[in-house]
């Protein structure tokens, strides 16, 4: 806004004050400049004046254009930063918190992260504007009244707005198409966060989401050039026509009055939304303060082959329940055989799997890992659990991440994918992963399990109606 002030003063001089002097031969066009500039530029011919005017006009618009780019970039990067912080926090939540916070996270990403990004933009822009208005006020006192006129600009505004509008609409369509893939990935992690973590895919999803986020951000920022032009060029032209007649008739300093009124209303409107911004920040901070599970990232990354896993006097209950799922539980899972686990719902089958994965920790007791060299490790104290899930354990559940097929087809694809991608894992956990397969495919699956027992530790969970967990 401040860069446009000399232009407005010059137009004022052209229209009202110095036009007669320009009719003289060898006229000095420096008289058209604002008085404070005439102290530095004392003589100009018509060509020099034109070049100076064109240069200043280009400079002033370029400044406005860069400010527009910066504001939009601040909004995009601000919302993406908050979004990234929320997703990283979600990945570190405890098993039960992750199970119950999915919908909350979706709202925080779709609404609150965007609100924070928008207000970061408003804060910078309105602070800059407020300072500019104060400067303009003192300049207006020094240089006197101004008027503004430029016929035909409203037609130009309409054409420019239409062209920019079409370009922006096309760009938004492209961005939404790219954003859809990213949103689907986030929704999958929000809805199946514990399954993804249990399969050791947290790092994979984090890399994918970071890649898509940066790609979308780069695409959005490339559209930002047109967006900034649309916001600044028609807007700067639009102030001319409303002041056209009234300025001539009254001679009032309408540009200053309009600037103060317009920007004051913008600042006031943004101040009124501060309550929503504050509420968004509070919800985000509350989410970021949720308890995290400890994956012992600084502990041992186990690389040796595993001989057995032993549960010793393990007790566990979920925070949302008063009932113990496991009490004084003792069992050893060994290699070279299929460790079968069956029982009715609520008997602790999946809980045992979650304990082995390190998604949850027992309230009492311990789980001891014994490698082929005879060394023993406490799973929850000595082992890097993220590395454990990503490298040592292969996990397939009745639920999976396969889309677009029947339940049986998805389970078969999931089993084959786990066997292929986790072939170097030492432990294979199958939690009712084959319950929708037909008899023929179940037999083939069982044959694969028999092959794996040669050097792997296999735990096979199957639902049955027995009152107690049955081992064979």
Q: Rounded to 5 degrees, what are φ and ψ at 364?
A: -135, 160
Model pLDDT, residue 303: 84
**Residue 326: CATH number of its domain:** 3.40.50.300
Let me know if residue 346 belongs to a domain: yes
Place of tokens 């609100």: 115
The reply to whether 168 and 107 lie within a common domain is: yes
Let me know if residue 313 belongs to a domain: yes
Q: How many CA atoms lie within 13 A of 185 on its CB side?
A: 18
Residue 209 contacts residue 370 (beta carbons within 8 Å)? no
The reply to whether 270 and 310 lie within a common domain is: no
Let me know if residue 300 belongs to a domain: no
Q: Exposed e or buried b for every residue in 396-431, given b needs 16+ CB within 10 A?
A: bbbbbbeeeeeeeebbbebbeebbeebeebbbbbbb
Average pLDDT of span 293-300: 91
- Alpha helices (H) along 33-112: 35-38, 46-91, 95-100, 102-107
The reply to whether 275 and 409 lie within a common domain is: no
- Tell which of 236, 261, 288 closes a domain: 288
Model pLDDT, residue 400: 86
The reply to whether 198 and 257 lie within a common domain is: yes
Q: Rounded to 5 degrees, what are φ and ψ at 39?
A: -65, -25
The reply to whether 246 and 319 lie within a common domain is: no
d(CA 278, CA 275): 5
Structure tokens at 438: 């037909």
Beta strands in 7-140 (DSSP E): none
> What does the CA dihedral 262, 268, 274, 277 come to, rounded to 10 degrees?
-10
Let me know if residue 296 belongs to a domain: no
Q: Does the predicted TM-score (pTM) go above 0.95?
A: no
Range of the domain at 442: 306-463
Number of domains the chain contains = 2
Strands 306-316 and 326-334: antiparallel
Let me know if residue 472 belongs to a domain: no
Let me know if residue 468 belongs to a domain: no
Let me know if residue 471 belongs to a domain: no
- Tell which of 288, 314, 345 closes a domain: 288
The reply to whether 268 and 369 lie within a common domain is: no
The reply to whether 22 and 50 lie within a common domain is: yes
- Tell which of 262, 288, 314 closes a domain: 288
Structure tokens at 172: 């938004």
Average pLDDT of span 54-74: 69
Q: What is the dihedral sign for C-alpha 226, 232, 237, 242?
A: positive
pLDDT at 440 over 60: yes
Model pLDDT, residue 277: 78
pLDDT at 426 over 50: yes
Model pLDDT, residue 114: 77
The reply to whether 255 and 331 lie within a common domain is: no
The reply to whether 113 and 217 lie within a common domain is: yes
Residue 42 CB coordination number (10 Å) = 10
The reply to whether 167 and 64 lie within a common domain is: yes
Place of tokens 């006197």: 144
The reply to whether 221 and 346 lie within a common domain is: no
Place of tokens 């792997």: 456
Model pLDDT, residue 454: 86
Residue 243 contacts residue 255 (beta carbons within 8 Å)? yes
* pLDDT tens profile 373-421: 889 999 999 999 999 999 999 999 988 888 878 888 999 999 999 999 9
* pLDDT tens profile 235-255: 555 555 455 444 444 444 555
The reply to whether 156 and 231 lie within a common domain is: yes
d(CA 325, CA 44): 91
Let me know if residue 115 belongs to a domain: yes
Structure tokens at 210: 């970071």
Residue 148 contacts residue 5 (beta carbons within 8 Å)? no
Structure tokens at 190: 């929000």
Average pLDDT of span 222-233: 61
């Amino acid at each position: 806004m401040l860069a446009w002030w000399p232009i407005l003063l010059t137009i004022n001089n052209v229209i009202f004050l110095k036009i007669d002097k320009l009719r003289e031969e060898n006229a000095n066009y420096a008289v058209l400049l604002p008085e404070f500039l005439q102290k530095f530029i004392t003589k100009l011919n018509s060509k020099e004046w034109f070049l100076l005017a064109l240069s200043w006009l280009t400079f002033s618009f370029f400044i406005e254009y860069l400010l527009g780019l910066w504001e939009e970039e601040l909004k995009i990067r601000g919302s993406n930063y908050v979004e990234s912080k929320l997703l990283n926090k979600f990945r570190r939540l405890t098993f039960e918190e992750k199970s119950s916070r999915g919908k909350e996270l979706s709202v925080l990403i779709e609404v609150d992260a965007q609100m924070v990004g928008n207000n970061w933009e408003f804060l910078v822009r309105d602070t800059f504007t407020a300072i500019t208005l104060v400067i303009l006020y003192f300049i207006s006192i020094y240089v006197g009244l101004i008027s503004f006129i430029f016929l035909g600009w409203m037609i130009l505004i309409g054409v420019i707005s239409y062209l920019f509008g079409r370009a922006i609409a096309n760009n938004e369509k492209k961005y939404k198409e790219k954003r859809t893939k990213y949103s689907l990935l986030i929704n999958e992690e929000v809805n199946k966060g514990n399954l993804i973590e249990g399969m050791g895919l947290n790092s994979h999803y984090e890399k994918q989401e970071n890649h898509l986020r940066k790609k979308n951000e780069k695409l959005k920022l490339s559209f930002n050039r047109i967006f900034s032009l649309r916001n600044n060029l028609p807007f700067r032209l639009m102030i001319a026509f409303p002041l056209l007649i009234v300025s001539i008739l009254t001679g009032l300093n309408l540009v200053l009055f309009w600037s103060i009124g317009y920007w004051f209303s913008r600042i006031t409107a943004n101040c009124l939304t501060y309550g929503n911004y504050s509420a968004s920040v509070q919800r985000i901070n509350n989410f970021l303060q949720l308890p995290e599970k400890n994956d012992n990232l600084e502990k041992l990354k186990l690389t040796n082959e595993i001989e057995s896993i032993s549960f010793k006097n393990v007790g566990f209950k979920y925070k949302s329940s008063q009932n113990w799922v496991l009490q004084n539980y003792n069992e050893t899972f060994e290699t070279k055989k299929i460790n079968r686990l069956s029982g009715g719902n609520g008997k602790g089958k999946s809980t045992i799997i979650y304990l082995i994965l390190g998604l949850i920790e027992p309230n009492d007791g311990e789980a001891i890992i014994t490698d082929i060299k005879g060394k023993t490790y406490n799973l929850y104290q000595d082992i890097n659990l993220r590395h454990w899930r990503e490298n040592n354990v292969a996990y397939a559940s009745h639920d999976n991440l396969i889309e677009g097929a029947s339940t049986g087809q998805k389970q078969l694809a999931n089993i084959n994918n786990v066997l292929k991608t986790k072939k170097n894992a030492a432990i294979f956990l199958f939690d009712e992963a084959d319950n929708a397969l037909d008899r023929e495919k179940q037999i083939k699956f069982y044959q694969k399990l028999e092959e794996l027992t040669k050097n792997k530790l296999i735990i096979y969970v199957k639902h049955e109606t027995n009152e107690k967990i049955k081992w064979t």
